[in-house]
Amino acid sequence: MFDLKGKTAVVTGAGSGIGAAITRVLAAQGAHVAAVDRDEDMARHVARDIGAAASPYRCDVSHAGDVDALFHALAAAHPRIDILVNNAGIAHVGTAESTTPDDMERLFRVNVLGVYLCARAALPLMLKEGGGVILNMCSVAALVGITDRFAYSMTKGAVLTMTRSIAADYVKRGIRCNCICPGRVHTPFVDGYLAKNYPGREQEMMKVLSEYQPIGRMGRPEEIAQLALYLCSDEASFITGAAYPIDGGVTAV
């Protein structure tokens, strides 16, 4: 099950956290994975750990020129692109009042425009070969209201609706498109956020953030990666246009 031998996958935001975990899991199942990150050193580090099954690429997904250059290079290096995981994204803490126009623009460019640009570049390559899979990283913030996440929630709502739109537009042409909606996941971003905003109180606030999930802890990147593997595999061939919560019970209570 979940055999990806002979397939090529592209994972954005692959340099750390969930993206790195997805890159490792897809490679372990036989795919050749293009590990894409705006920090080329981080992409190289992940690819080096994986070995021959991964290749590093630098790309800032918020810039059309970067994305076009990336997919031109990928098309030259690989006979086909089978899987695109739009994982690259940035977070923001703030309400409608405290969020600045610059904050909104920055979040939009990475989390929304980046998904659009990569999907737009990948779709013709997939269609040429008869189909493919696009998996977008969404969030429970697209499904429920979360305090202090105004701009972030806006972007993830857009990711959810883009996912469903792509699924509807390409369902007859061999392309499936789904999204994953994680709750809080323990990544380097969380550690950095706590160190910056709660110096000396990191453990206390980690407990608060963990208990937000009814299950009593944050998710692990590897758990998100296993769901990603399923949705990218042929075992999920009857699934498109779906949004999968993986949130420790947040949306259940």
- 100: helix, coil or strand? coil
Helix (H, G, I), strand (E, B) or coil at 37: strand
Catalytic residue numbers read 152
Task: Tell me the one-letter amino acid at 18.
Answer: I
Distances (CA, A) of 196 to 3, 66, 94, 116, 193: 41, 30, 15, 31, 5
In which residue are the tokens 């739009």 written?
86
Contact 36, 122 (CB under 8 A): no
Nearest to 85 by CA among 47, 153, 138: 138
Among candidate residues 16, 68, 77, the one with its CA nearest the CA of residue 43: 16
